[in-house]
């Protein structure tokens, strides 16, 4: 009990320091320094690449399986609705206010506390805590930039605010730049081929489009047209119409497969901005699913994106806080959610430890 109180106290103090330190995506150098000092003050060796940090609970043993604990320390920028200073941590009525307190400061410090609890203890697996940058923008200098530096894992536990429910699947994201080409002409005469009308034909198809395959866990893959631009003069038939498609892809498709199905049904030119943010789904029979069932943890499929999309190994997303509070004005997390988060992470890892030991 005494150790847990210390873990919780340290976690809250660390979160307050992180809230007080600006860490917009691509600008996380100062919070990386805060996290580095936290490890140094506890004599925990760590490595750093860019603004990503990681540490091992014990010397790496290639004969053992590996578990990653991952969360991020970057934040979005505060919106105009804030009535409190987003960089001043405020405790009030059992809540801790501040930018990044909920997404993903609470899960981050709870994972760190669980890691500290198990640090140096004999474990039947390698345990690594990974504190990543640029998660909010899925940036190139985030977790994707260090995966090759880390040992492969059989499970990654990603800390995000989920009300301590467990997302065992997550939709991927593909943003597509679409172009319809026509031929310029004078609007007053029957000249040219209007690229807007060509695009309209495709947009009607997109509005009603149904992908053939449906995921039993995540449901339908969905495409939405979100931005459109064409023409510059009222009297000129536009020869180009550009629009953007937002595609949320389930585990029934790879991004490449979803792109191919769209391409075969549309006439416009489609160019994906990236094929990095794949969907994920924990395979049937994975031990974490048994543990969730034994512990009574609700499992679900998540429509929102996280670093799961960049982790090429089985992963789950779980943490204290509520996704509905993310990116909102006067963001907060309940202090008891942090307590429960620390307890939950420790319980999951201890259950996983027992399961691995039985299998050895």
The pLDDT of residue 345: 98
| pLDDT of 72 | 98
Q: pLDDT per residue over 307-353, tens digit each?
A: 999 999 999 999 999 999 998 999 999 999 999 999 999 999 999 99
The string of DSSP letters for 142-173 reads: SGGGTGGGS---SEEEE---STT-EEEEE-EE
Mean pLDDT confidence for 211-222: 92
Closest CA to 23 of 32, 15, 14: 32
Beta strand pairing call for 126-132 and 185-186: unpaired
Q: Is residue 190 over pLDDT 80?
A: no
- Over pLDDT 90: what percentage of the chain? 90
CA–centroid distance for 320 within its chain? 15
């Amino acid at each position: 009990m005494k150790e847990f109180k210390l873990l919780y106290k340290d976690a809250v103090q660390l979160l307050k320091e992180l809230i007080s330190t600006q860490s917009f995506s691509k600008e996380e150098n100062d919070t990386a320094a805060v996290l580095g000092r936290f490890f140094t003050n506890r004599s925990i060796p760590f490595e750093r690449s860019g603004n990503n940090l990681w540490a091992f609970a014990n010397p790496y043993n290639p004969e053992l399986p590996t578990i990653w604990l991952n969360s991020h320390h970057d934040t979005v920028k505060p919106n105009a609705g804030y009535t409190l200073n987003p960089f001043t941590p405020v405790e009030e009525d059992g809540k801790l206010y501040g930018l990044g307190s909920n997404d993903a400061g609470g899960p981050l410090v709870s994972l760190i506390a669980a890691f500290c609890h198990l640090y140096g203890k004999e474990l039947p697996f390698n345990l690594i805590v990974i504190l990543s940058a640029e998660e909010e923008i899925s940036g190139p200098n985030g977790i994707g930039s260090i995966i090759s530096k880390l040992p492969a894992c059989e499970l990654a536990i990603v800390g995000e605010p989920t009300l301590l429910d467990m997302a065992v699947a997550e939709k991927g994201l593909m943003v597509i730049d679409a172009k319809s080409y026509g031929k310029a002409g004078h609007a007053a005469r029957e000249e040219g081929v209007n690229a807007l009308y060509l695009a309209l034909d495709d947009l009607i198809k997109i509005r009603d489009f149904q992908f053939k395959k449906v995921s039993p866990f995540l449901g339908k893959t969905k495409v939405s047209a979100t931005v459109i631009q064409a023409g510059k003069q009222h009297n000129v038939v536009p020869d180009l119409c550009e629009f953007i498609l937002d595609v949320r892809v389930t585990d029934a498709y790879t991004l490449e497969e979803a792109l191919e199905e769209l391409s075969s049904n549309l006439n416009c030119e489609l160019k994906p901005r990236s094929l990095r943010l794949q969907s994920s789904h924990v395979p049937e029979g994975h031990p974490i699913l048994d543990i969730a069932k034994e512990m009574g943890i609700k499992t679900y499929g998540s429509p929102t994106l996280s670093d799961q999309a960049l982790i090429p190994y089985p992963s789950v997303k779980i943490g204290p806080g509520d996704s509905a509070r993310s990116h909102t004005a006067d963001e907060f997390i309940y202090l008891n959610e942090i307590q429960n988060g620390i307890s939950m992470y420790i319980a999951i890892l201890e259950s996983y430890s027992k399961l691995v030991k039985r299998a050895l």
